[in-house]
Amino acid sequence: MTKKITSRKDILVTLFDEPVEGGESSTDYLTKREDNQGLLKDPLVLSILGLTALTNSAYAIIAPFLPFEFKQKGIDQTWIGYIFSIYSVAVIICSPIVGKMISIIGRRNLIVFGVCLMGCSFIVFGIISNLEDKNAFITLALLNRFLQGFASSLIQTTMYSISTNFFPDHKDAMVGYIEAITGVGLILGPLIGSGLYAIGGYKFIFFSFGSFFVLSSFFIKVVFGTNIDAINTQSDVSGSNASSTRSRRRRAMTDDFMPVAGSTLID
């Protein structure tokens, strides 16, 4: 008897409808792919994406206005590049450290500290804009910007940790969503900054945005429950089992099936 193959899904269902030992059928696999779309309705996912967007907007919020501030103070424009670059330097240096801190301090505590530190650094940025001494302003601006990068690494590294551990069956989708929302945050930053600047001027950007971060830090433990800090062992085992299952499935395909040369299979 000949079975007509009409789509890629039909091929997968025909080849893998019977689950391998310890694994799942292709129908279950395809269902999981469809479930990825439902992630955006999960409150935890929305919280992760929202905080990620907010954190990345903090990176770019000063981009339209810092050159004018430096020009008014008579500071060489070259320092603007250093101000932005040191943020990324901090992220590179601190992210691996934060990864090791997660199991010691806990995810929720790291997020709270990161959000609060980000807010405080913005407020300090507004304060130091009153300095007339160029060297003191540049030094404190670089130090403050480094702290912002450290705060960003605390938040974003933890967001990735939650995503990959709490959603082990949707890791790829979660990473894709986070990367996409990172771009959204970078777009929103200058727009938010422009709005705040129109309302209250240069210093108002830092005081208002910083205060928002500080106030938000008090609600982090409400948004992210205690289970966020208690999923390492279970998810690691699940991830290991999933990896083993995929390996067995690949071996089964190699051993039991010949390549499909046409659009039909002979039963």
Q: Identify whether 261 is part of a domain.
A: no
Q: Identify whether 10 is part of a domain.
A: no
- Give me the pLDDT at residue 249, please: 44
Scanning the structure block, which residue is given the tokens 């609060």?
A: 116
Alpha helices, H only, the chain = 8-16, 26-35, 43-60, 66-73, 78-105, 107-128, 134-166, 171-200, 202-217, 220-223, 232-256
Side chain identity, residue 74: G
- Give me the pLDDT at residue 231, please: 59
Instruction: Specify burial of residue 206 (Cβ count, 10 A radius: 0-12, 13-18, 19+).
Output: buried
Q: Identify whether 8 is part of a domain.
A: no
Q: Identify whether 55 is part of a domain.
A: yes
Q: Identify whether 97 is part of a domain.
A: yes
- Give me the pLDDT at residue 114, please: 95
Side chain identity, residue 229: D
CA dist., res. 43 & res. 70, Å (int): 42
Side chain identity, residue 113: F
- Give me the pLDDT at residue 18, please: 45
Scanning the structure block, which residue is given the tokens 């046409």?
A: 262
Residue 44: CB atoms within 10 A of its CB come to 17
Q: Identify whether 6 is part of a domain.
A: no
What are the structure tokens assigned to 233, written together? 């062992």
Q: For the whole model, what pTM was predicted?
A: 0.72
Q: Identify whether 17 is part of a domain.
A: no
- What is the SS3 assignment for 218? coil
Q: Identify whether 69 is part of a domain.
A: yes
* CATH code for the domain in which residue 206 is found: 1.20.1250.20
Number of domains in the chain: 1
Q: Which residues of the chain have pLDDT under 50?
A: 1-3, 5, 7-9, 11-27, 29-30, 33-34, 233-267
- Give me the pLDDT at residue 262, please: 41
Are 249 and 16 within 8 A, CB to CB? yes
- The domain in which residue 111 lies consists of 42-227
- What is the per-residue pLDDT across 169-180, written as a single tens digit (0 to 9) for each? 888 899 999 999
What are the structure tokens assigned to 86, written together? 């040191």
- Give me the pLDDT at residue 37, please: 61
- Give me the pLDDT at residue 164, please: 87
Are 135 and 127 within 8 A, CB to CB? no
